[in-house]
Each structure stands twice: as structure tokens, then as C-alpha cells.
Structure 1
Amino acid sequence: MTKMLYLFVAVAFMACQERSSQQEKKEELKEGVEKIRQDVKETAADAEDYLQAQRDELREDLEQRKKEIDLKMEELKKDGSEKSKKARTRLGKLRTEIDAKLTDLKNSSAATWDSTRKEVDTLLKKSDREWTEFKEDFKELFR
């Protein structure tokens, strides 16, 4: 009978050891999951910061281009010639496109970022081209 009691105590002790070992493994697993969760949060925050920095850079470029156009349009208002009116009309169309892209840029999400970025880059290249052509076409207005 005492042998049975010792055997029972030994089995119970081993069962308790197994439970504490399993508990330790569960704790390690929970810690690992928490670390992964924290890393994902940090990565998401870094990605959002990067996206916001790119968005700000493009917004600044577009706003700078818009200011240049506004300044030139103000100068052209002083000159009442027909050529000046044509130039203002052309610049007004370009300014409208820039305003639309600024709105798109402000409302873009991470999911639509790539396409918005491409569209803004295309518009900036187009506006560079048009600005150069504009200067060539209206040389006399750029004294």
C-alpha cells in the first residue's frame, strides 16, 4: 500500500512538473506574440511616417508650382494685351489641374498611394514641360 502511495505521489509530482513546463511554454509563446504585435505596430507607424513625408514633399512641390503660376498670372493681369489673356487662360488650366491633384493627394490613402504618386509625378513633369513651352511662346511677357 505504501508503495502505491509513493507511486501515486510520484505520478502526481510528474504531472505537476509537466503542467508548469507547459505553463512556461505558454508564457514564452505569449511573450513572443506580444513582441511580434509590437514590431508590427512599429513597422506600421514607420510606414505611415514615410508615407506622410512623401505626401508632404509632393504637396510642397505642387504648392510651389501653384505659387509660381499665381505670381505670373498676377503680372499678366497688369498687361492687358491679347497675348497676356491667352497666357493667363493657359496658366489657369494648369493651375486647375494642380488644384485637383492637391485635393487627390490630401485624400489619398495608403492603398491608393502608388497610383496617386504616379499621377502627381506625371502632372509635375507635364507642368514643367508646359511652363517651359509657355516661356518660349510668350518670351516678350517675360522681361
Structure 2
Amino acid sequence: MKKMLFLLTVAAFMACEQTTTQEEKKEELKEGVEKIRQDVRETAADTREYMDAQRDELRKDLEERKREIDEKMEELKKDGSEKSQKARVKLAGLRDRIDVKLSDLKNTSADAWDSTRKDIDTLRKKSDEEWREFKADFKELFR
């Protein structure tokens, strides 16, 4: 009987100790999950800030290009030659493509950011080439 009582006491003691250990592990797990949640929130905020900064940089660049084109088109309006009219048509096409990309840029979501950024980078390279070609083709208009 004493042995039985001793065994029951030991079993009860071990059960209590095991419950405490399990509770400690559950608490550690909850703390770990909360830390992960916080890290995910911080990473999402950092990613959003980075994307917003890139978006602003691209927007400013496109708006500057558009402003340069608009200024040149105003200058060309003063010159009534046929060559300046052709130049204005080319510039208007480039400006329209920039407008489309500016609109895309303003309305892009985080999911579509990579493809939008790639499209804008391609447009920037293409517009640089077209601007150089334009200046070469119409160099007498750039005095």
C-alpha cells in the first residue's frame, strides 16, 4: 500500500511538472509567433516605403522628360516649318506614351510593381534613344 501511495504521489508530481513545462513551451511559442508577426509587419512597411520611394523617383523622372518635351513642342510651334510640324508629331507620340506610363505608375499595385517598373525602365531607355535620334534628325531646330 505504501508503495502504491508512493507511486501515485510520484506520478502526480510528474504530471504537475509536465503541465508546467508544457505551459512554458506554449508561452514561448506564443512569444515566438508574436515576434514573427511583428517582423512581418515591419518588413511589409519597409517594402512599402521602398516601393513608394522608387515610384516617386520614376514619376519625377517621367514628369521631367514630359516637361522637356512640352517645352520643345512650344518652341517648335513658333517655327511654322514642315520639319517642325513633323518633329512635333514625333514628340507628341513620345509624350503620349509617357502619359500612359505615368498613369500606370500612379495606379500600380504592389503585385504588379515589378512588371510596371520593367515597362517604365524600357520606356525610359527607348525615350532616351528617341530623344537622341530626334535631336540628330532635327539638329537645326536645336539652336
Q: TM-score, normalised by structure 2?
A: 0.90
Identify the residue that residue 97 of structure 1 maps to in structure 2.
97
Q: For 1:128 and 1:14, locate their aligned partners in 2 and report how far apart those are by CA, in whole Å.
A: 77
The secondary structure found in structure 1 opposite 2:111 is: coil
Identify the residue that residue 84 of structure 1 maps to in structure 2.
84
Q: For 1:8 and 1:119, locate their aligned partners in 2 and report how far apart those are by CA, in whole Å.
A: 74
Letter in 1 for 2:32: G
Q: For 1:128 and 1:85, locate their aligned partners in 2 and report how far apart those are by CA, in whole Å.
A: 21
Q: For 2:142 and 2:113, locate their aligned partners in 1 and report how far apart those are by CA, in whole Å.
A: 37
The secondary structure found in structure 1 opposite 2:140 is: helix
Q: For 1:99 and 1:76, locate their aligned partners in 2 and report how far apart those are by CA, in whole Å.
A: 20
What is the CA deviation profile of residues 72-118 of structure 1, one whole-angstrom value per residue up to 9, with x for unaligned ones?
A: 11111111222111111110000000000111111222222222111
Letter in 2 for 1:70: D
RMSD, aligned CA: 1.6
Q: For 1:27 and 1:61, locate their aligned partners in 2 and report how far apart those are by CA, in whole Å.
A: 51
Q: For 2:53 and 2:63, locate their aligned partners in 1 and report how far apart those are by CA, in whole Å.
A: 15
What is the CA deviation profile of residues 37-78 of structure 1, one whole-angstrom value per residue up to 9, with x for unaligned ones?
A: 111111111111111111111111111100100111111111
Letter in 1 for 2:16: C
Task: Trace 1:122-141 onto structure 2 (pairs within 5 A).
Answer: 122-141=122-141
Letter in 2 for 1:38: Q
Between stretches 95-104 and 8-17, larger displacement belongs to: 8-17
Between stretches 92-101 and 33-42, larger displacement belongs to: 33-42
Stretches of 4+ aligned residues off by more than 2 angstroms:
1-14
User: Runs of 5+ in structure 1 lacking a partner?
Assistant: none
Q: For 1:123 and 1:10, locate their aligned partners in 2 and report how far apart those are by CA, in whole Å.
A: 77
User: Runs of 5+ in structure 2 lacking a partner?
Assistant: none
Q: For 1:125 and 1:5, locate their aligned partners in 2 and report how far apart those are by CA, in whole Å.
A: 86
Q: For 1:139 and 1:33, locate their aligned partners in 2 and report how far apart those are by CA, in whole Å.
A: 65
Q: For 1:24 and 1:18, locate their aligned partners in 2 and report how far apart those are by CA, in whole Å.
A: 10
